[in-house]
Chains A and B, each alone.
Chain A
Amino acid sequence: MKGSLIIVGFFCLGILCGLFHLLPESMQHSEISFYALCTLMFCVGFSIGNDPQTLRTFRTLNPKLIFLPIATILGTLSGALAASLFLPHRSITDCLAVGSGLGYYSLSSIFITEYKGAELGTVALLSNIFREIVTLLFTPLLVRWFGTLAPISSGGATTADTTLPIITQTIGQQWAVVSIFHGFMTDFCVLFLVTFFCML
């Protein structure tokens, strides 16, 4: 939670700087963000490849639960399609791109800003932060209404880190491996889904 607050803090600080023109104009239209994004993706890839522990954890997984990330993604995309019906001024692909952030607000909003502009990037940032907050707050209710797997699905890409504690606390420690596996797989898919829907 603290990590999310710091991120929101940086975003707000940026808004203030932009609002009151505290930074030189040249900084806004530079290529900094693209190079920073490339460096970021290199580091993300590096940390995935450099961690053999993740692969080892997955061998202890119940094979049927491999379908959980797929269920999450299909459910979210259906939801985003339904949402686009209520938002006539947004295109279907815009809604799908925002939804396919799956709670990974930092990366998805950065991607969407880079390729669809700051307005949709802001929607993506807010929407995916809300997803994490909804999961943190409503996990017990989701379990009661939709069964044991619901909070993992709801958490989307955050279930390997930020929402893991609340999930294992509610449905039990034995689900930690499933939750981490789910978070890892969806994390990975976010990049491709967001890229895909931005290109359509």
Chain B
Amino acid sequence: MFTVITIMFIGMGLGFLLRKWRVPGTNNLIMGLIWLLLFLLGIEVGSNRRIIEGIGTLGVEAALITIICVLGSCIFAWGLWKIITKKKES
């Protein structure tokens, strides 16, 4: 787990050092890797009977988590909006 984040920071440092040079194709490589990894996730899901049989339930669970999380963040954003606009008025 730490390996992955450390690797990201090494990438960031290197990117910063080389900021004078544009490296073409980085974004395409990122897209390609994301496609590959989600394809691999698909394979794992497809070959696992338990997940395939429960995909409907998993979808409902996912939707429930999404709706409540979006509501939560909207309520906090509403609070912040109230605080910011109040300060501007006074």
Contact = CB atoms under 8 A, between A and B. Distances in A.
Contact of A99 (B52, B55, B69): B69
Chain A contact surface mostly:
helix
A83 B58 contact: no
Given A18-B42, A119-B50, A146-B77, A195 B8 contact: no
A7 B46 contact: no
Q: Which of B15, B22, B42, B71 has the most CB of A within 10 A?
A: B42
A87 interface: yes
Contacts of A83: 64-65, 68-69
Contacts of B83: 64
Contact of B11 (A42, A67, A107, A110): A42
B5 A41 contact: yes
Interface string A1-34: 0010011001111111111110100011000110
Interface string A78-106: 11101100110010000100110000001
Contact of A199 (B1, B26, B39, B70): B1
A48 B17 CA distance: 12
Contacts, number: 288
A135 B52 CA distance: 28
Nearest to A120: B58
Contact of B47 (A18, A82, A124): A18
- Nearest 5 interchain pairs by C-beta: A14-B42, A18-B46, A49-B15, A45-B11, A79-B72
9 contacts: A36-B40, A42-B11, A45-B9, A47-B26, A48-B11, A65-B84, A113-B44, A122-B55, A195-B1
Interface of B: 1, 3-5, 7-19, 22-23, 26-27, 29-31, 33-48, 50-52, 54-55, 58-59, 61-84, 87
